[in-house]
Structure 1
């Protein structure tokens, strides 16, 4: 199997796992909380994967991102970020959630969900990266 087919297979397989995880969250929790949890986990995974990818490829930690689909070194990173996290997380669902709150006149609730999502997802991304980079700096 050539490299591009392996990458496509990795993205597809990881996407199935991400979609199943999101479905599991949604069936067990309130949809607002399920979406937040899925988005936070996805951002943490993206932070971890991108930092790991950079270390493996001997890039500067603040350097380039996850690579591109056409590159030979992008397989696992693309599978996890685009496949798993792409299926797990959803900005469009967040937009619908916020629109629902706004449509019912709950402006403060919409603002709170937006602020919480931005803060929690950013923190998860930073923690994911820090976990990899701090471990790599240890002697």
Structure 2
């Protein structure tokens, strides 16, 4: 990875971590974790839809220097950097482990189910909405 890309990913990671900390400082840690995970999945849905649109636009245009570019995926600074630091599966695992250690199996299952459902809905919803918007435009 070129150093310029690595630097932008690192800076975006710092920003994502700061946002996560800011949310956690304002509300309960469990809800903060759910919120940042859902928002992060929504952003990744948007970014992947945007990348899909760019990829399809490039495929339909003749090759020229202005069209040729990387087809590696969505912006690494946004997805790996910002969203990678904003969201956290490891914190979710610790949250679930605490519930399980306390014998709160139902609570652990509920948080896991809620997180999976909400994050999936955010990803699919944002991706679908963006692609539908671009198809109409």
Match of 1:91 in 2: 89
| In 1, Cα distance between equivalents of 2:72 and 2:30 | 33
Match of 1:112 in 2: 110
Match of 2:56 in 1: 58
| In 1, Cα distance between equivalents of 2:73 and 2:46 | 15
1:46-90: per-residue Cα shift (whole Å, max 9, x none)?
11001101111227xxxxxxxxxxx84558611100000100000
Secondary structure of residue in 2 paired with 1:105: coil
Q: Paired residue for 2:17, among 19, 28, 35?
A: 19
TM-score scaled to structure 1, two decimals?
Answer: 0.84
| In 1, Cα distance between equivalents of 2:50 and 2:104 | 41
Number of aligned residue pairs: 126
In 2, are the aligned partners of 1:7 and 1:75 still within 8 Å (CA)?
no
TM-score scaled to structure 2, two decimals?
Answer: 0.85
* CA RMSD in angstroms, aligned pairs only: 1.9
Q: Paired residue for 1:32, among 8, 30, 33?
A: 30
Structure 2: runs of 5 or more not aligned: 58-68
| In 1, Cα distance between equivalents of 2:54 and 2:18 | 29
- Is structure 2 residue 75 aligned with structure 1 residue 77? yes
| In 2, Cα distance between equivalents of 1:123 and 1:117 | 10
Change (3 A) 1:88 1:15: same
